[in-house]
Amino acid sequence: MSIEALNLEIYNCKKCRLWQGAKHGVPGEGPLNAMVMIVGQNPGADEDELGRPFVGRAGKYLTKTLLEFGIKREEIFITNIVKHISPKNRKPFDDEVRACLPYLIAQIRIIKPQIIVLLGASAKETPRIDGIEYVQIIHPSAAMRFTKMGEKFREQVAGLAKRLQQN
């Protein structure tokens, strides 16, 4: 399946209840030959408004921190476990995650990243696929709020940058 066909399915998807409160589906974005994929948990209000992932405060913080360590966001495919916003930004329910996971798996199969970076709680829900390296880092929204987590987040992004230099 092409990424365009997959995106269209996501825009029209009603496989769980989340589409009902959403303005836009947020499939994710980035180059199809991306070496790195970043996976968050769910789109927030800014993402829902624009139909794009990680464009709110946390997304800007993530983009800025990646760049500080020489990682360009436009070279990464960024997406979420579920593709529609959840009410009051709550954690997606298990049945919503289950309903939406086939889209993430299809994206992984299309992009074929070498590394998948899991942000915060998305680590528990993302399926592991042989041959892909998984790196877990603190979610940027937590890193922005708590100094210690912010320091750890920077260390983790620095580690990722170092790992990418080895390729």
Among residues 14, 91, 109, 162, the one that binds ligand SF4 under rule CB under 6 A? 14
Which regions of the chain does DSSP assign to beta strands (E)? Answer: 36-40, 76-80, 115-119, 133-137
Residues of this chain, 43-82, that bind ligand SF4 according to CB under 6 A: 82
**Minimum distance, C-beta of residue 69 to ligand SF4, in the bound complex (Å):** 31
> Based on CB atoms, which residue is closest to ligand SF4, 62 or 96?
96
Site mask for ligand SF4 (CB under 6 A), range 17-46, x = bound: -xx-----x---------------------
Q: How many residues bind ligand SF4 (CB under 6 A)?
A: 14
For residue 104, the minimal CB distance to ligand SF4 (Å) is: 9
Among 34, 37, 55, 100, binds ligand SF4 (CB under 6 A): 100
Q: Does 98 bind ligand SF4 (CB under 6 A)?
A: no
In angstroms, the CA 161 to CA 30 distance is 18
Residue 119 · residue 78 · CB < 8 Å = no
Cβ(85)–Cβ(43) below 8 Å: yes
d(CA 140, CA 35): 21
Cβ-based neighbour number of residue 90 at 10 Å = 9
Report the residue from 29, 47, 48, 96 that binds ligand SF4 according to the rule CB under 6 A: 96
92-96's contacts with Cβ under 8 Å and 24+ in sequence apart are: 92/18, 92/41, 92/42, 95/16, 96/16, 96/17, 96/18
Judged by the rule CB under 6 A, the positions of this chain that interact with ligand SF4 are 10, 13-16, 18-19, 25, 82-84, 96, 99-100
